[in-house]
Amino acid sequence: MLRINPESGFFEGARQVLSPNCDDRPLECEPELIIVHGISLPPGEFGGPWIDQFFTNRLDAGAHPYFREIADSRVSTHLLIERAGAIVQYVPVHKRAWHAGDSRYCDRDCCNDFSIGIELEGTDTLAYTDAQYEALCRVVHALRAAFASLAGAPVVGHSDVAPGRKTDPGPAFDWDRFRRQLAASEVSA
- Count of residues in the chain: 189
Say whether pTM exceeds 0.95.
yes
Say if residues 169 and 120 touch (Cβ distance below 8 Å): yes
Average pLDDT in the chain: 96
Mean pLDDT of 75-93: 98
- pLDDT of 175: 98
Element housing 51 (H / E)? helix 50-55
**Can you tell me whether residue 83 is helix, strand or coil?**
coil
Closest CA to 87 of 136, 37, 21: 136
User: Tell me: domain 15-188, CATH 1.10.10.10, correct?
Assistant: no
How far is residue 177's CA from residue 17's CA, in Å, rounded to a whole number? 30
Q: What tens digit of pLDDT does each residue of 119-172 get?
A: 999 999 999 999 999 999 999 999 999 999 999 899 999 999 999 999 999 999
Question: Is 60 exceeded by the pLDDT of residue 189?
Answer: no
Domain ranges of the chain: 15-188
Name the band, by pLDDT with cuts 50, 70 and 90, for residue 5: very high
State the pairing for strand pair 15-16/87-89: parallel
How far is residue 104's CA from residue 92's CA, in Å, rounded to a whole number? 22
Mean pLDDT of 16-24: 98
Question: Is 90 exceeded by the pLDDT of residue 93?
Answer: yes
- pLDDT of 186: 81
The active-site residue, picked from 32, 82, 119, 121, is 119
Q: Is 134 one of the annotated active-site residues of the chain?
A: no
- pLDDT of 1: 78
